Structure 1
Amino acid sequence: MPHVVTANCDSCRFTDCVTVCPVSCFHGDESRIYIDPDACVDCGACIPACPVSAIAEAGDLSDDQQIWVSINAERALATPLIISKQPPLPSAADRRAQLGF
C-alpha cells in the first residue's frame, strides 16, 4: 500500500523525504508535497525523514485521514516532480512548532 503525505505538510513543505526516497515519487505545489501512489515502492524511508510526521502508509490512516489517499493521487499528477531537497516554506518553522515538533 503506498505512502501518503497528510495535513501536517501544509505550510511546511519540508523535502527531507525526497533525499531518502529510492524512486521519484514526490511532487509539490506552492504549499506542500504529495506522493504519487503509482511510483511509490512502499519502502517507508520517507516516514522517519519527515520532521513533522506528515507521511504515513495509506493503510495506517484513520478514517478521517483517508481523504489524503485520493488527494495525493490527484495532486501528484497535477504538480511538478521534486527530485532534490528544496528550502522549506517561510512558514515552516512556525507550522512545525504549532504541530509540537
Structure 2
Amino acid sequence: MTHVVAEPCSGCKYTDCVVVCPVECFYEGEQMLYIQPEECIDCEACVPECPVEAIFHEDNLPEEWASYKDLNAEMAEKCEVITEQKTPLADSKDS
C-alpha cells in the first residue's frame, strides 16, 4: 500500500511532508511533489503535515483524483528525491 500526492499540491509544493518521511520517498516536480509507491512504507507521517490536505492513502483517494496514483509512480521515476524543506511556490494557496 502507498500514499498518493493529489491535485491540491499542484501549484503549492509545500514540503512539510518530506522532512517527516522516514524513507525519503518524496520526489520534487516542477509544480508539485510525488510519492514513489514502491518506497512508501505507509507510515502516514506525511498526511497530517500537509497544509493543503493533498496526501491520501491510495484506498481513500477521491475518485476525481484517481489518475494521480499512476502519475505519482510515473513522475517519481523522472524527478529528484527531496528530503529538505523548501519555500513553497509563490502562488501557493495559503500564501
Task: Sort the TM-score into its range (normalised by shorter chain).
Answer: over 0.9
Q: What is the letter of the counterpart of residue 34 of structure 1? A: Y
Partner of 1:96: 94
The offset of 1:68, in angstroms, is 0.8
Q: How much identity, in percent, do the aligned residues show? A: 41
Match of 1:77 in 2: 77
Give the aligned residue type for 2:15: T
Letter in 1 for 2:17: C
How many Å apart are 1:8 and its aligned residue?
0.1
Higher helix share: 1
What residue is the counterpart of 2:25 in the other structure? 25
What amino acid sits opposite 1:96 in the alignment? Answer: D
Following the alignment from structure 2 to structure 1, what is the Cα–Cα distance between the partners of residues 9 and 47?
12
Which ranges of structure 2 fall in alignment gaps of 5 or more residues? none
Distance in 2, Cα, partners of 1:62 & 1:23 = 25
1:50 is aligned to: 50
Unmatched tracts of structure 1, length 5 or more? none
SS at 1:41 equivalent: coil
The 2-side partners of 1:65 and 1:22 are apart by 25
TM-score by length of 1: 0.89
- The separation in 1 between residues aligned to 2:11 and 2:64, in whole angstroms, is 20
TM-score normalised to the size of structure 2?
0.95
The answer as to whether partners of 2:4 and 2:61 remain within 8 angstroms in 1 is no
